[in-house]
Amino acid sequence: MKNRIHLYVSRGNWLTWLMALCMAASAVTRIVFPVEKGYGGTQEVWSQILLPMAAAVLYALIALLRGEELFYKTAIPVWMMSLYAGLRIQSSVDSPLLVWLFWICMIFFAYLYTDITAGRWPHALLLLTPLVLSPLTFLLYITRTALMAGNWPALQRFLSDALAALGVLVVIFAIRIHPAGELHPTWGDRSDGRRIRTLPPMAQVSPYLMVNRNEASNLFEDAIEISHIDRYIRKKRREGLTSFGITHVLLAAYCRGLCKYPGLNRFLSGQRIYSRDNDISFCMTIKKEMTTQSPDTVIKVHLAPTDTADDVYRKVQSAVDQVKNSPLDSNFDLTAGALNLIPGVVLKFVVWLLKLLDYFGLLPKFLLEVSPFHGSLFLTSMGSLGIPPVFHHLYNFGNLPVFGAFGMKRRACEVLEDGTVVQRKYVDMKFVMDERIVDGFYYAAFFKYYKRILQHPEILDDPPETVLRDIE
């Protein structure tokens, strides 16, 4: 992983557009020539027209639309094109040995293309060798056979193959390398997280032994003395942050804790552990009005380890005001309403399908954004309801690894060493945590550091000096 580079192509490069033109011409000619003279059965139409045409179009779309981020996914249409070429040679050549050799050649080309575009090789020009040895050899063989047989219509059919191969050849010279030092997505990563590949074996096996999030939950509770926090809140309100409260302090301290312990920003999905890196996805349930009739809604705020208390306040308050001051439903409410329109039996299938897509990391990004079950932390305030905190369960759907709750302020009388009695204010906190993302020692170290930050909340006014990155 440390030696992996990130290859990309840019829409600003004219070679990328030339590649797209070649792929479009390949798809068009693949339709035009068979239509002019008729074509074979359904299987031949599927394998010799639709499959390579879809591969050419998909290759151009991925390179043009997501070439700067997800160029490695052009390996998918390359595998499709290799399948087409193998089926084509299998139907055109009588020698079984030659067919097997060609299949091996095409598989080698597709695998090497996948490996190079995933960033495991330092030079994209290494693709030139397999491109010349595999697809162009195929084209030359077919062309020679057609010329010897005087089969001119066959040559027209293979014009599409030549254009597709030319498109891949052109794009090789358009490939660039992103600057070193950044982590970029590759195979196995998700849109909401980067897969961690250097975990010890036990950490990689435990998700298969503890499959559900609830059976892998640890419970933790503690009390925080809030004299320093109260003074800090009054100070921030005098500075103009009128709605600043303990929620913002607890959340800002959590973000600061992730600077030193980034492992708590991991999540588990599909029996694999991923890291969100610098995206702290915070979820919270709020009410438009504090009445029993007012429905709940959920906000999701994207924070960063470098955020100060002021940054956290502005981001959270903006999301809260947007929900409370808008007569329209939030995106979460609209999505839940759409699901509610589906009949119960069908809805069970839809939920199963969503779980399946989520397992393989294929859930659409807009659903991940509105889902309260996908995030870094869910924090709820029982203090605003005037009750102590609860141990809130984790959801088996989604990937939320930590659920925290804090209660109302309470006073406690304590006896000091000299025998005097003092009264102090506390807030109780309870957390439910997925033990599969980090071990107990890591959790303990984080919460001790978290409490030290809360004893000196003024440090949250300045950005952190260092931000550690999670392991690879």
Sign of the CA dihedral running 90, 93, 98, 102: negative
382 alpha-carbon distance from chain centroid: 31
The answer, yes or no, to whether residue 430 has pLDDT greater than 50, is yes
Computed over every residue of the chain, the mean pLDDT equals: 86
C-alpha 399/C-alpha 417 separation (Å) is 47
Both tokens of 457, joined, read: 């909340």
Both tokens of 343, joined, read: 């009949």
- Mean pLDDT for 306-326 is 90
C-alpha 382/C-alpha 224 separation (Å) is 15
Phi, psi (deg, nearest 5) at residue 402:
-135, 130
Q: Are 371 and 398 in contact (CB under 8 A)?
A: yes
C-alpha 394/C-alpha 402 separation (Å) is 7
Give the number of other CB atoms < 10 A from CB of residue 282. Answer: 21
Between 163 and 458, residue with greater pLDDT = 458
- Mean pLDDT for 144-155 is 54
Radius of gyration of the chain (CA): 29
- Mean pLDDT for 147-170 is 70
435 alpha-carbon distance from chain centroid: 21
Region at 93 (left for phi over 0; alpha for psi -120 to 50; beta for the rest) = beta
Tokens 């499709």 found at: 80
pLDDT at 36: 46
The closest alpha carbon to 403, from 254, 244, 297, 207, belongs to 254
Buried b vs exposed e over 354-368: b needs ≥16 C-beta within 10 Å?
beeebeebebeeeeb
C-alpha 372/C-alpha 354 separation (Å) is 14
pLDDT at 133: 56
Q: What is the pLDDT of residues 262-289, one digit of tens each?
A: 999 999 999 999 999 999 999 998 877 7
Tokens 């829409």 found at: 11
C-alpha separations of 110 from 52, 74, 431 in Å: 14, 10, 48
Q: What is the dihedral of CA 417, 420, 424, 426, to 10 degrees?
A: 40
Reported confidence tier of residue 310, pLDDT bands at 50, 70, 90: very high
The answer, yes or no, to whether residue 128 has pLDDT greater than 70, is no
Q: Are 324 and 297 in contact (CB under 8 A)?
A: no
Q: What is the DSSP letter of 175?
A: -
Between 412 and 161, residue with greater pLDDT = 412
Q: At 421, which helix (H) or strand (E)?
A: strand 421-434
Between 294 and 222, residue with greater pLDDT = 222
- Mean pLDDT for 67-75 is 90
Instruction: Please return the burial class of 369, using the count of CB atoms within 10 Å of its CB with bins 0-12, 13-18 and 19+.
Output: middle
C-alpha 275/C-alpha 246 separation (Å) is 27
Q: What is the DSSP letter of 193?
A: B
pLDDT at 3: 61
pLDDT at 97: 85
Q: Are 173 and 399 in contact (CB under 8 A)?
A: no
Both tokens of 114, joined, read: 């996948």
Reported confidence tier of residue 426, pLDDT bands at 50, 70, 90: very high
Reported confidence tier of residue 169, pLDDT bands at 50, 70, 90: confident
pLDDT at 99: 83
The closest alpha carbon to 277, from 6, 1, 436, 469, belongs to 469
Residue 23 CB partners (closer than 8 Å, separation 6+): 56, 57, 59, 60, 163, 164, 167
Q: Please list the residues that pair with 379 across neighbouring strands.
A: 404
The pLDDT > 70 percentage for the chain reads 87
- Mean pLDDT for 189-196 is 90
Q: What is the pLDDT of residues 437-462, one digit of tens each?
A: 999 999 999 999 999 999 999 999 99
For the chain, how far is it from start to end, CA to CA, in angstroms?
7
The closest alpha carbon to 467, from 257, 308, 293, 309, belongs to 257
pLDDT at 1: 46
pLDDT at 140: 59
- Mean pLDDT for 307-311 is 96
pLDDT at 422: 87
Reported confidence tier of residue 195, pLDDT bands at 50, 70, 90: very high
pTM: 0.83
Reported confidence tier of residue 345, pLDDT bands at 50, 70, 90: confident
Both tokens of 427, joined, read: 């807030």
Both tokens of 193, joined, read: 């997280």
C-alpha 47/C-alpha 82 separation (Å) is 11
Both tokens of 49, joined, read: 């027209």
